[in-house]
Amino acid sequence: MRLIPRGLAMMLVSVWTVLVLGGTAFAAGTAPDTVTEKAAPRLSPGMEQLLNDIRTLRRTRLEQLNAEIDQMIERAHQSGKITDEEAARLREWRAVRRLGLSPHDSEAEVKAKLDEAVKNGRLTREQAKKILKEWEKARRSHRKARP
């Protein structure tokens, strides 16, 4: 007992195959286009203002913190808790850190940051050379301290 004639069955299988393969090819062909067409979502004016306020707050607090640390160094120096040399080294190292330098940076990165600071007028060439020497010294001591 055949319920479906052979010709009709073959035609249904063919249509089904075309639909499956055609749909797969269509999906594969259109997926990359939809991904490339999507752009980053725009922020609302309220969100942009909030992010600007957060950046301003961070900058203000960081400036306050740096001023307090500088005062602590000065008080320790004036009271005799640290020597002139130690105070000078602390001030220099703080200048290094404010430039975003780290013992983990490569020498090329440090030189590039110092060159940029000289170009922007934040440092003189002599200060940059002194900071580079201090960074190299800190990097050597950092490597020795590591197990």
Domain ranges in the chain? Answer: 47-82, 83-147
pLDDT at 30: 54
Phi, psi at 106, each rounded to 5°: -80, 160
Does pLDDT of 24 surpass 90? no
131 to 30, 42, 83, 84, 105: CA distances (angstroms): 55, 42, 20, 17, 14
Is the whole model's pTM more than 0.85, yes or no?
A: no
With pLDDT > 90 as the criterion, what percentage of the chain qualifies?
A: 27
- Condensed to tens digits (0 to 9), the pLDDT of residues 59-86 reads 889 889 988 999 999 999 999 999 998 8
* Average pLDDT estimate for 134-143: 74
Does pLDDT of 26 surpass 70? no
